[in-house]
Amino acid sequence: MESGYTVGDLVAEFLIQCGVQTVFGIASVHNIPMLDGIGRRNAPRFVMARGELGGTHMADGYARAGQRLGVMFSSTGPGAANAVGGLIEARFASSPVLHITGQTATKFADREMGTVHDPVDQLGMLRSVCKAAYRIRSPHQALGILTGAAAEALSAPMGPVSVEVPIDIQRAPIPRPAGLDHLVLPVAAPPVAPDAAIAALVTKIAAARRPMLWLGAGARGAAAEIAALVARGFGVVNSFAGRGILPEDHPMSLGALHGMGLEAVQEFYRDVDLLLVVGARLRGQETGDFALKLPENLVQIDIDPMADGRTYANSLFVCGEAKATLAAVLARLDDTARAEPGFAAAFTAMRDAARASFIASLGAYGSFSAQLRAVMPRDAIWARDITQNHTTWGNRLFPLYHPSQNIYPVGAGIGQGLSLGIGAALGGGGRKTVVMTGDGGFFLNMGELWTIVQEQLDLVVLVMNDRGYGVIKRIQESTQHGRRFYADLQAPALEGVARIAGMPFFRVTQAEAFGETMARTLAITGPSMVEVDMHQVGEFPAYYPFNQRPA
């Protein structure tokens, strides 16, 4: 190892001391000293993405599946700009991602002098999409800014934070900080719910006889407390981001069948006398742009005070961390605070009716969820891109049992799922990973297939191939009087792509063969690909809201 210690070395050691085992990114002229510090230590593991967008999604997927800090390195200027889409998704998903980017030399920065990758207000660009963005302006403040940035990413509500490290500062020699040896990130303690709010919440729960929970990602840490409420008779529905907090094979779990387009669910909500919303936004994409009629007695628990009434009005708002708040509530409830007799039976009957109705609407694809669940390991990671199959059975029917299995683009951007799944496979502790994508999303970031191969990930790429943008066609049919423009794609044969990548390849042409084919693929250790030829299986049926008759 060369003599001397630089800020580049400090960045590498800082990540090691934070417990970061894997980072993602692309080597560039403006981050070489930092990556040299990582390379000489052979730690953390550096995964070479094919593009900054993919690398940022990988760091995000890694953070979600591993429930830890995700880290991504980019270059400055165009490289940092390429990462923006991934940072936006991490912000949507409240993922703790630390984005470390370069910057031109300090004496040239922000002067538009035409140096290589010379960006105009890069810091402003990053601030617009992240929780925060910082620049290290002198070598001696590097450890402080890195520590603060990582802590901010991990502090609730979590999210991406960017740090610029100018190239001259990366190379600058410094004494090794003694503080590295006892580094503890100062992650902010979550707010504690006021006692009066806890008392008011206890009163509402004690009075409820037909209560339900709506769980979002903010409830991930409160699984035990949620299970205790379910034992008192609560029914559960979860947001797309809140899946798996209560295992979705539980008889009191409705999963992500929120109610839009399902008459059985909407009718049931009318008699629910308490809807306790825990760490959820009640997003427009889950409520038909807030048209879904929810129970009037709606109570919110959220760590973010800005969540109060953000989408739906509430009868009580409790600002606090989900686990601590629910634990305090449970400590005060007596044994009489239970749902009425018969509520559980009514709930499960409604759930079964809703599922049957939804499955019947999917035509040939109605059996895909059950076929895949029968052959997929219970702890496997289920990553998805935005496709018709994801929007329907992949997100609403396929049961998940833990939040770390649930990897998908929260912001509903196409083409992100493959890279999210790559990161999840690396952060998931060796669990099998299945990534379902459409052909349009797959070809948008096909280059990252070689990241899978280079890292030899135990990952199945499942491509639902309808040779175009099926979701876009549905929207065009609904809003443009059936006219379809610019949604049919010419692309190479997937079998040929898999052959070039050296991946085992399987094709499904009949719906009833899906499960058997996936079982054969899942038995392979390492990368593999399955194509579902949707032209052979059949056109995907119109689904809500595209299957509704116009008024």
Q: How many helices (H) and strands (E) does the chain have?
A: 23, 17
Give residue 547's pLDDT band: very low, low, confident or very high (50, 70, 90): confident
Of the pLDDT bands very low, low, confident and very high (cuts 50, 70, 90), residue 1 is: very low
**Tokens of residue 131, six digits:** 């929780």
Contact 276, 445 (CB under 8 A): no
Per-residue pLDDT at 549 exceeds 80: no
Among 98-112, 259-273, 500-514, name the one with the lowest average pLDDT.
98-112
- Give phi and psi for 382, each to the nearest 5: -115, 95
Do 509 and 442 contact (CB within 8 A), yes or no? no
Nearest to 211 by CA among 194, 228, 199: 228
- The DSSP call for residue 183 is -
CA distance 354 to 356: 5
Count of beta carbons in the 10 Å neighbourhood of residue 94 = 24
The pTM of the full predicted model, rounded to 2 decimals, is: 0.96
Structure confidence at residue 401 (pLDDT): 98
Closest CA to 60 of 142, 165, 130, 143: 130
Separation CA 534–CA 465 (nearest Å)? 6
At residue 478 the predicted structure's pLDDT band, cuts being 50, 70 and 90, is confident
Question: Residues 6 or more apart from 470 whose CB is under 8 A from it?
Answer: 387, 388, 438, 440, 487, 534, 540
Report residue 2's pLDDT band, with 50, 70 and 90 as the boundaries. Answer: very low
Q: In what order do the strands lie in the sheet with 316-319?
A: 235-238, 211-215, 274-278, 298-302, 316-319
pLDDT (0 to 100) of residue 3: 55
Please tell me the distance from the alpha carbon of residue 421 to that of residue 411, in angstroms, as a whole number.
Answer: 16
Is the bond preceding 377 in cis, omega lying within 30 degrees of 0? no
Give the separation between CA 485 and CA 479, rounded to whole angstroms. 12
Q: Is the pLDDT of residue 532 over 70?
A: yes
Rg for the chain, CA atoms, rounded: 24
Beta bridge partners of 274: 211
What are the pLDDT digits (tens) for 265-323? 999 999 999 999 999 999 998 999 999 999 999 999 999 999 999 999 999 999 999 99
pLDDT tens digits along 350-409: 999 999 999 999 999 999 999 999 999 999 999 999 999 999 999 999 999 999 999 999
- The answer to whether 363 touches 538, Cβ cutoff 8 Å, is yes
Kind and range of the H or E run holding 197: helix 195-207
What does the DSSP 8-state code read for residue 112? -
Whole-number Å distance between alpha carbons of 527 and 521: 9
Q: What is the pLDDT at residue 471? A: 86
pLDDT bin (cut points 50, 70, 90) of residue 112 is: confident
Domains located in the chain, CATH noted:
7-182 (3.40.50.970), 195-346 (3.40.50.1220), 361-537 (3.40.50.970)
The alpha carbon of 111 is separated from its chain's Cα centroid by a whole number of angstroms, namely 37
Instruction: Please give the structure tokens belonging to residue 235.
Output: 């029914």
What average pLDDT does the segment 124-146 reach? 97
- The model's confidence at residue 548, banded by pLDDT at 50, 70 and 90, is confident
Task: Give 450's pLDDT tier (boundaries 50, 70, 90).
Answer: very high
- Give residue 551's pLDDT band: very low, low, confident or very high (50, 70, 90): very low
| Distance of alpha carbon 73 from alpha carbon 138, whole angstroms | 20
Residue at token pair 């099998």? 432
Q: Which helix (H) or strand (E) holds 274?
A: strand 274-278
Asked which of 223-227, 243-247, 470-474 is least confident by mean pLDDT, the reply is: 470-474
